[in-house]
Structure formats: C-alpha cells, structure tokens
Amino acid sequence: MFRRIVSNGNSFQDTLANDPSPEYIESANRLFQLHPTELHALLESAWSFRVKENRQPGHPGNKTTLRGLPDDLIGLFDNNWQNGTTFVTQVGVGNPCTGHSLWDHLIYAYVIESTQVYKVFQKLIENYAKGDFEINLQPAVLQWLHNTETLWFADPPVLSSFNFVSKARPDIMLTRLGSYYRFFGFSLPGDEQPYYKAKSAHLNYRRSFERFAEEIWIGIENEANVTGRRPIDDAAIAFSAYEMQKNFLSQRNNGDITKQEFFFVSMMAWFHLSLEYNSPIVQAFGINEQSPAQRLFALANIVGVPANGLSENLFRLGDNMSLLLTLIETGIFNDELNVPALYEDNSPLANMMKQIIFNYSHVSGNNLKARAVKTYDSMPLQKGNGILTNGQAVHS
C-alpha cells in the first residue's frame, strides 16, 4: 500500500524508471518521516476508502464489509496525501467514504517475504533496540527506525482496525504464516516454525497455477501459427482460472481474511519501498547497490542474517503476481473469450505473463515452459547465488 501511496497507485520501481524526476523520491522520504500515528492514519484511511462496488463480499471490487474507523474519526486526520486520485483525504460529518483504494493481493506479501526481508529488518531493529549500531543516527534514519519498530515489530494499537494480536492469536508472525498456508497451501521457503495449518487450506493452488501458466506459454509459442498444429487450449486456461478463483473466494469467506491481507501487504510494501531507492536506512549504511535485491544482500551481510539468493527474481515477481491473481479473482478469465489476451502477441498481459513465467520458473525450480507439471507440498527454492535455500546456507 505504501508504494502505491507515493507513486500514483503504480509500482514505485516502475515509476522511478519511467519518471526520473525527484518528486517520487521526495514523496517516499516524506512518508518515512511521518509520525507513527500519521502512518496508522494513512492505513486507516486507505482501508476506509477501499473500492466498494456492488459485488459479493470477498470479490476484488468489494473485498469485505468489515468496518474501519468511523468516518467522523477518520475526518480528524487532516491527511491530504496525494497519490493522483487522492484517496486519503479529510472526511466531514455526513460525508461518508466512497472509496477507491485497491491494495495488492496476499501473494505480493508472500513473494516479498520469501526474500527473507522481514527477518533481515527484524534483526536490524533488534540491533537498534539493543544499542548495537555503529552508525551515526541522522534524524531521518532515527525516524525511519522508530517508525519501523512501532509499525511492524510492536503490537498494533488496541482499537486499530489491524490489531491481530489477542489470546486467540498471540503471535502475528504465526498468524501471517497461517494466512499464507490458508491461501496457497505452502509455507515460506526456509521457515520451519510450527504454526496452525487450516484444514480448509487451498492445497491445489500450485497445481492449478502451474497448469494455467503452462497452457499460457503454449499459447505464447503458438499464437502466430496460421498453418499446421496450433495446440492452444483456451478452455483449459479458463478452467484453471475458475478453479483458482473459486478457491480464493472460498478462503476469503465473504471478506474474513481481508484485513490480514491488507496489513501484511502494507508491511511488506514498507520494507520493499525502503529498498527500492537510496532511502534513509540504505544511505545510513553506505550501501551503493542499484536494485532492491542487491541492497537487501548488502544489508543482510551487515546484520548477519541470510537473504534469499533468488531475491532478484522474487522482487520482480511480486507486483506481476499480485495483478494476475487479482484479475483471476474477478473471474475475467473464466470466460474463454477473454483468455487470448494472456498470450496474444504485444498484449500487455502477455508481456506480463512472460515475465511471470520466467521468474517463477527460476524461483520454483519448475520450468513452466516444459510440458510436464510437477507438484509439491511446499514451494522449494533452487540454489541461486547461494545465500539461502530452504533454510540452509549454500555456497556457489
């Protein structure tokens, strides 16, 4: 969510690539310097201004009917944060939130956390809390550290819309792991912490997704064929999309899991944004790398926590997977007439699918361009630059 706030609703990294003006970097820096209360207010405002179409709760156009803070309380926060569409604004009495914010799919949080970014920043904050910092804490760095600890490593305010800590759910990390398992049927790579695995978990997600992507690749390879064999199966793609949509909406259960999704996506977006440019914390350690993954590797080396060697692919996968699964949940690809957009030459969606298939194949070790589809109980990672594979340090 934070990346969208500072970049007109788009991927922050894409925004920097397409518009080299310093406006967006200044916007991100200003975000990091807000008080934790203001940041909580941004989250509450984004939640209250979510898209509210006349659809079944759980659908991307109406993710839940659960209320946020009352409109009158939202109106007390004079946050005129601009993101092009200005979804964060002051709301007066009698002027209810109409809503037009749409956040990333839970898969974004899963993919970004698979880089081990949470554990790296957790160790960083622990070192800060213990006083084990050998850097000069400039005001911008100190505020970033304070905000990060308060937002993501402390229990949320009791009356916050996003307080998931209770006697029933005492550990937010385990709640997050359980949410991933519930949606996708596998754990984070390399994480062996015991947590409750819901009996209703979507265990067929990986099989359905890989069949879906594999059929699309066949379409990409054969779409231009005008003579001879053209083994494109739109019905198979539509059926896999339908299977995924049905199971995702079942897990959402009329919006039950939506607040967890919103909060966890926002958490990973904060860490991701911190690595997408020379943010205060990156500058503080003198890191001069040019990509989020390389900055993460440098930071991981400093704090002594291994990052995932496949982070470059994972960072590139997050936004695209989020958009794809959100579209699948709308049901648009259940109709065979809409399927060709996923593989037709020069289609934006086809270009996105090429990137997904390439990066997913590297991350999973399962070549989606091959005909045979493997199935796994978890999502193992290949050895890549050797930093972390299934929890084991490797050397390449």
- In whole angstroms, give the CA distance from residue 383 to residue 396: 8
Q: What is the dihedral of CA 367, 369, 370, 375, to 10 degrees?
A: 50
Given this model, what pLDDT does residue 10 score?
Answer: 57
- Residues with Cβ within 8 Å of 114's Cβ and at least 6 positions away in sequence, in order, are 188, 189, 308, 314, 363, 379, 381
pLDDT at position 17 is 62
CA distance 367 to 47: 38
Alpha carbons 135 and 141: distance in angstroms, whole number: 10
How far, in Å, CA of 129 to CA of 151, rounded?
A: 14
Residues ≥6 apart with Cβ < 8 Å to 171: 165
User: Which residues on adjacent β-strands are paired with residue 50?
Assistant: 101
The pLDDT score that the predictor gives to residue 8 is 59
Burial 132-170 (b: 16+ CB within 10 A, else e): eeeeeeeebbebbbebbbbbbeeebeeebbbebeeeeee
Strand partners, 62: 59
In angstroms, how far is the first alpha carbon of the chain from the final one? 36
Mean pLDDT by 10 residues, the chain (396 residues): 70 61 81 88 78 73 71 56 39 44 87 96 94 85 95 81 77 87 86 81 88 94 76 93 92 81 92 93 92 95 94 94 93 95 93 95 90 46 43 41
Give residue 228's pLDDT.
66
3-class state of residue 254 by DSSP: coil
Task: Identify which of 48, 37, 137 has the alpha carbon closest to the alpha carbon of residue 77.
Answer: 37
Long-range contacts of 8-16, Cβ-Cβ distance < 8 Å, separation of 24 or more: 8/83, 8/84, 8/85, 9/83, 9/84, 9/85, 11/319, 12/272, 12/273, 12/276, 12/277, 13/276, 13/292, 14/319, 16/276, 16/277
Alpha-carbon distances, residue 205 vs 135, 184, 202, 247 (angstroms): 45, 6, 6, 8
**Inter-residue contact 370 to 291 (CB < 8 Å):** no
Decide: 12 and 3 in contact? Cβ < 8 Å.
Answer: yes
Class of residue 375 by CB neighbours under 10 A (exposed 0-12, middle 13-18, buried 19+): exposed
Given a contact cutoff of 8 angstroms between Cβ atoms, the answer to whether 172 and 164 are in contact is yes
